[in-house]
């Protein structure tokens, strides 16, 4: 007994030493000064490159347009962390720069986002940004470390650092666990049992969920901010429903997490900044709608050029497009369209990862597809035309392919006129209204 009691203080000393070593690890980031090129860092929106001037220290720095990030695993809930980086913001086309920590649970779901105060003044010199100390939220297992430059211009980042500045409270509770060894396994089992409720979602197949239509420049309307009237339409090409919870839409500047929302198979949903502003523009709309909390897509889409990127809850790329002068997604971006016109995939869900998947739509069709218009004009000749249309759309949409085939079977012209192809869409639209 006495031997055992003398061993516990030694064990406690070892634990404290391990904690001290962990705290002494210092910077938790990979390639914090960009001396190894882009290693460890990825672009979430926009683009970045490593340059040799201007640098804060060493031989490299990141020249960033948009947002870059890296993941740090094995963070501790309840521990304190401080995130710092040096930056040059001297481009008038950059509205601000800031640091962001996006805390994730074991399933990759976002728990909380912390952001530093934005730096909005210009200077040719490096200045330090600091976020923290902040306490990692309960359930945190990893954190996404983000360097953000808002606007169409470039900023520079160098010598970033993420440090654990205070240990997690569990380190203090260790003596209690030593006093009663039997209960010690039970917390471990509880912790192991926690991940199953939040399993990592499997990656969606290519073309399963697409940004089908985008209106980035509404027709002028006095009294309503333009950003409140922008919208994007998503299309579920799968034969099963999709829950959009924690899917993320981002432009070159900001990211919006989608709420829990079940999108039926073959269904369309329109993502809007302001429901009120959208319904004022489309008073007859009866489709599915998701309103974002900050009244705009990303940070408001740029009329001269921008990107829109859709990612799943784990951060995997689902779909993206770019237009105008933004070549971050398509090497040859979608051409600009007139105010009040939209960019739309033709046919719905058609996705070859090229700008020519999209056409300019003079009359936007949020919540559905204007495919019926070309189908109704010719009757017998278009039976052949309807078949190619169904061929690319075979995987994405069961709705368009089902509609053209009955049309030729019925009597000539009257049936073609009476083929209200929007009807299949309306079949599931009311279901959403009930939810």
Report the pLDDT value the prediction gives residue 153, as an integer from 0 to 100: 94
Together in a domain, 247 and 383: yes
Instruction: Write down which residue in 145, 169, 193 finishes a domain.
Output: 169
Cα-Cα-Cα-Cα dihedral of 394, 400, 406, 409, to 10°? Answer: -80
Report the pLDDT value the prediction gives residue 206, as an integer from 0 to 100: 86
Report the pLDDT value the prediction gives residue 98, as an integer from 0 to 100: 96
Structural domains of the chain, count: 2
Report the pLDDT value the prediction gives residue 405, as an integer from 0 to 100: 37
In a domain, 209, yes or no: yes
Report the pLDDT value the prediction gives residue 313, as an integer from 0 to 100: 93
In a domain, 175, yes or no: no
In a domain, 20, yes or no: no
SS3 of residue 285 by DSSP: coil
Residue length of the chain: 435
Instruction: Write down which residue in 124, 147, 169 finishes a domain.
Output: 169
Beta bridge partners of 98: 148
In a domain, 15, yes or no: no
Among 45, 38, 27, CA closest to 62:
38
Question: Which phi and psi angles does 133 have, rounded to 5°?
Answer: -70, 140
The domain that holds 330 is classified in CATH as: 2.60.40.1260
Together in a domain, 321 and 407: yes
Among 40, 19, 28, CA closest to 73:
28
In a domain, 239, yes or no: yes
Together in a domain, 110 and 155: yes
Together in a domain, 231 and 120: no
- Please answer whether residues 377 and 385 qualify as being in contact, where contact means their C-beta atoms are separated by less than 8 angstroms: no
Report the pLDDT value the prediction gives residue 45, as an integer from 0 to 100: 84
Instruction: Write down which residue in 169, 194, 226 finishes a domain.
Output: 169
Together in a domain, 256 and 352: yes
Report the pLDDT value the prediction gives residue 174, as an integer from 0 to 100: 46
In a domain, 187, yes or no: no
The domain that holds 66 is classified in CATH as: 2.60.120.260
Report the pLDDT value the prediction gives residue 170, as an integer from 0 to 100: 52
- Please answer whether residues 266 and 342 qualify as being in contact, where contact means their C-beta atoms are separated by less than 8 angstroms: no
Together in a domain, 155 and 225: no
Together in a domain, 279 and 403: yes
In a domain, 183, yes or no: no
Question: Which phi and psi angles does 393 have, rounded to 5°?
Answer: -90, 0
Together in a domain, 374 and 294: yes
- Cα separation, 274 vs 196, in Å, equals 36
Question: Which phi and psi angles does 162 have, rounded to 5°?
Answer: -125, 115
Report the pLDDT value the prediction gives residue 186, as an integer from 0 to 100: 53
Report the pLDDT value the prediction gives residue 223, as an integer from 0 to 100: 81
Range of the domain at 281: 205-435
Together in a domain, 217 and 135: no
Which residues of the chain fall below pLDDT 50?
1-4, 17-24, 171-176, 190-192, 198, 371-435
């Amino acid at each position: 007994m006495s031997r055992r009691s003398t061993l516990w203080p030694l064990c406690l000393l070892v634990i404290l030493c391990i904690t001290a070593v962990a705290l002494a690890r210092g910077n938790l980031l990979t390639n914090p000064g960009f001396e190894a090129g882009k290693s460890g860092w990825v672009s979430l929106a926009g683009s970045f490159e490593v340059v040799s001037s201007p640098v804060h220290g060493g031989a490299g720095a990141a020249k960033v347009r948009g947002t870059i990030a890296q993941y740090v695993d094995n963070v501790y809930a309840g521990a304190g962390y401080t995130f710092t980086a040096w930056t040059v913001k001297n481009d008038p086309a950059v509205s601000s720069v800031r640091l962001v920590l996006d805390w994730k649970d074991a399933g990759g779901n976002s728990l909380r986002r912390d952001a530093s105060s934005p730096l909005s003044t210009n200077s040719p010199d490096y200045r330090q940004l600091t976020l923290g100390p902040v306490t990692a939220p309960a359930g945190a297992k990893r954190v996404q470390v983000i360097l953000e430059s808002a606007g169409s211009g470039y900023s520079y980042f160098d010598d970033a650092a993420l440090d654990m500045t205070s240990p997690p409270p569990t380190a203090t509770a260790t003596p209690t666990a030593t006093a009663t060894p039997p209960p010690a396994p039970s917390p471990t089992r509880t912790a192991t049992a926690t991940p199953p409720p939040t399993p990592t979602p499997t990656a969606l197949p290519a073309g399963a969920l697409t940004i089908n239509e985008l209106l980035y420049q509404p027709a002028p309307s006095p009294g309503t901010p333009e950003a409140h009237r922008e919208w994007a339409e998503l299309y579920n090409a799968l034969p099963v429903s999709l829950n959009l919870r924690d899917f993320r839409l981002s432009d070159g500047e900001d990211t919006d997490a989608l709420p829990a929302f079940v999108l039926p198979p073959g269904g369309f949903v329109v993502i809007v900044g302001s429901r009120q502003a959208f319904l004022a523009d489309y008073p007859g709309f009866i489709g599915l709608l998701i309103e974002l909390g900050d009244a705009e897509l990303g940070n408001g889409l740029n009329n001269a050029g921008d990107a829109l990127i859709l990612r799943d809850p784990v951060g995997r790329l689902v779909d993206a497009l770019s237009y105008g002068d933004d070549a971050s997604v398509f090497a040859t971006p979608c051409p600009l369209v007139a105010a009040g016109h939209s960019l739309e995939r033709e046919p719905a869900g058609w996705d070859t990862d090229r700008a020519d998947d999209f056409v300019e739509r003079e009359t936007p069709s949020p919540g559905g597809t204007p495919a019926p218009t070309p189908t109704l004009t010719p009757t017998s000749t278009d039976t052949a035309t309807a078949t190619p249309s169904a061929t690319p759309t075979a995987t994405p949409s069961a709705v368009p392919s089902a509609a053209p085939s009955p049309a030729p079977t019925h009597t000539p012209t009257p049936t073609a006129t009476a083929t209200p192809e929007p009807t299949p869409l309306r079949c599931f639209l009311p279901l959403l209204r009930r939810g």
